Structure 1
Amino acid sequence: MPTANQVIEQQLRERGLQLLGPCDHLSHRTELLAESALLRDFTPAEAELLGAHMLRIGAQPGQILIAEGEASDWMMILLHGTVDIGKRKVGAEMDSQEPGDTTRLAVLRQGAVIGEMSMLDGEPRYASVWALSEVEAAVLTRPSVTRLINSHPALGAKLLVKLTQQLAQRLRNTSNQLVKILRKTGPA
């Protein structure tokens, strides 16, 4: 029976993503550590431990990194490149590639975290993610987070706090956008 990591590696390969090996020397990426809201408070030693629990992948422009509706338990940290986050419009088919069938939610760059909600709760992906440029990302799985918590509890707790802070900030931003829309449209 394949391990959880082997299953994820197979999913990534099937998507056409390039597996680049472990995420060694994460602490050497000083610009990334300074820019990333998730990583900026990590010491070099903590960054190395976290990197040891992640797999590096590569994608070319136009490749899908995450597909809306898929079930998976991993997230990515963008190490290099830019991605587009999009949500299917109501009524668009699951596999539709027609222009205008998706709404752009965000464009994210180096240091951003994507897919953390599904990694944490195991629910299907809320949106799709496409590479806009050449992308290098680090994949962190739920089983890897569990191993990290068991072997380095302080680092595991720090990671979970940082992820919670990012989720709270996204919820705040979404709530603010909703309020703006409701103000424009007036009472129902």
Structure 2
Amino acid sequence: MVEPTMPAIALLQGLLAASSLLVGSLLGLVWQPRRAVSAAIMAFGSGTLISAIAFEIALPAYQSHGLWPLFFGFFCGGGLFTAATQYIDKLGGFLRHPANRRRFLFRRRQQEAESVLLDLSKIKALRGIPPAEAQAIVGAVEQLQLDADEVLFNEGDEGDWLGMIVDGEADVRVNQRSIAHLGPGEVFGEMALLTGEPRSASLVACSDMTVYRLDRSHFDELLAKSPHLASSLSRVLAQRLRSTNTSRVRAEENLAAWRRQAIDSIELDLSPAEEQSLAASLSAASAPLAIFVGTMLDNIPEAVAIGMTAHSPEVGTAFLLAVFISNLPESLTSSISMRQSGYSVRRVLTLWGSQILLSGLCALGGSLLQAYTPDATVALIQSFSGGAVLAMLASTMMPEAYELGGGMVSLATILGFLTSFSISAAQLD
């Protein structure tokens, strides 16, 4: 039978360990610490949790039931945590962590760039440009969706942009008479852009079209940025790419290789202003529930583990301290990130306050599980929680700490590990 006071102790320990979430969120709302300070705290917390997982979750499970619950539980817990957080991040949960936010925004930009490069690979005139330089065009072009019979420009208009046809067809007309037909992969308007003369013909869409537009200002920037790109683009646009004797199969192979190399060469970076602007625009469409659920996923495994070790105070103290320390920088940096993304102070505080309550309830549940389930199941659940916590460290806290502090975080991580190890060792003696 479980002692009546044990669930209450587990509840209090869960609330205590999670209380640093509210402390960190309050600090994040009024103070933005230096990067080195945030990195050191986060690395120290990571080190304490790694040690606590090893000596207060993994070791007891191994001593009682061997390796099988460790391997099965850790892999299942880590795998499920990773899959769940990736799904929640797609719904808007990525905003809860700065590292996740930057990684998500970078991946989004990269996917957009890949899409543009795949479209541009259909343009015959651009296949002579080295893939590594082709990515310079990605940020310079604008995609246009045109309807059938829509006029792209008229004869005599200023030639201030050129177009590249990805899909659809268009008629070239002089004095209302069709003189040429353009299809996918072709470029138009290049001569007026290069010479500065007015348009010599009109262009009318014959069907729905997808066109990429390159304005004169961006074209001039490309010429100034890359001499190799300038000579290649100018030569190909001015002369039009002529057909070669290469077989169709070989041409397709070359095109596929060009696409792969172009995508592999993508190097994107977001300035702080771009990151904040993009995050704010995405947060407007993201579900607050995703932020809540994502944060809950980060804290449930820790709370359950606290509850399951509450019956043995000589074992659980180091883990309790490790969770308390690790929660502080997590909520601090997350609160700053959410505020930058447009979330109100009230919403941020409500989020973390509810997480404290849920952590207490999860610790209570962990204590009841420990008391009323077989020992083998307890070992498996503890291993499952340990794998989830370790996955959280690997995907959020440790990358964030290294990004903020660089190599210096290694010493803080070691110090945190040794601190937690010393507490565990002293209790086991």
- Asked which structure has the greater RCO (Cα within 8 Å, sep 6+), the reply is 2
Residue in structure 2 matching 1:136, options 210, 226, 236: 210
2: CA distance, partners of 1:117 / 1:140: 13
Instruction: Report deviation, 1:41.
Output: 2.0
Of stretches 71-80 and 59-68 in structure 1, the one that deviates more from structure 2 is 71-80
Instruction: Report deviation, 1:49.
Output: 1.5
Residue in structure 2 matching 1:151, options 217, 225, 243: 225
AA aligned to 2:134 is A
The structure-2 alpha-carbon separation of the partners of 1:105 and 1:24, relative to structure 1 and needing over 3 Å to count, comes to farther
Structure 1 residues 1-188: aligned runs within 5 Å: 24-25=113-114, 26-29=116-119, 33=121, 36-88=123-175, 102-166=176-240
The number of residue pairs the alignment matches comes to 130
Contact 1:62 1:131 in 2 (8 A): yes
Instruction: Report deviation, 1:87.
Output: 0.6
Contact 1:73 1:120 in 2 (8 A): no
2: CA distance, partners of 1:44 / 1:134: 29
Contact 1:27 1:44 in 2 (8 A): no
Contact 2:159 2:189 in 1 (8 A): no
AA aligned to 1:106 is A
Counterpart secondary structure, 1:130: strand
2: CA distance, partners of 1:49 / 1:122: 23
2: CA distance, partners of 1:123 / 1:41: 26
1: CA distance, partners of 2:133 / 2:168: 23
Instruction: Please identify which structure carries the higher strand content.
Output: 1
2: CA distance, partners of 1:44 / 1:143: 22
Counterpart secondary structure, 1:38: helix
2: CA distance, partners of 1:74 / 1:42: 20
Instruction: Report deviation, 1:153.
Output: 1.9
2: CA distance, partners of 1:79 / 1:48: 17
Q: What is the CA deviation profile of residues 140-187 of structure 1, one whole-angstrom value per residue up to 9, with x for unaligned ones?
A: 1222121112222211221111112229x7xxxxxxxxxxxxxxxxxx
Give 2:285's aligned residue: none
1: CA distance, partners of 2:138 / 2:153: 21
Flag the structure with larger Rg. 2
Counterpart secondary structure, 2:124: coil
Instruction: Report deviation, 1:121.
Output: 1.6
Instruction: Report deviation, 1:138.
Output: 0.9
AA aligned to 2:200 is Y
Mark the runs of 5 or more structure 2 residues left unpaired by the alignment. 1-111, 243-429
Contact 1:81 1:136 in 2 (8 A): yes
TM-score normalized by the length of structure 1: 0.62
Runs of at least 4 residues off by over 4 Å: none
Percentage identity across aligned positions? 30
Instruction: Report deviation, 1:117.
Output: 1.4
Contact 2:191 2:238 in 1 (8 A): no
Mark the runs of 5 or more structure 1 residues left unpaired by the alignment. 1-22, 89-101, 170-188
2: CA distance, partners of 1:45 / 1:65: 31
Instruction: Report deviation, 1:47.
Output: 2.7
What RMSD, in angstroms, separates the aligned Cα atoms of the two structures?
Answer: 2.0
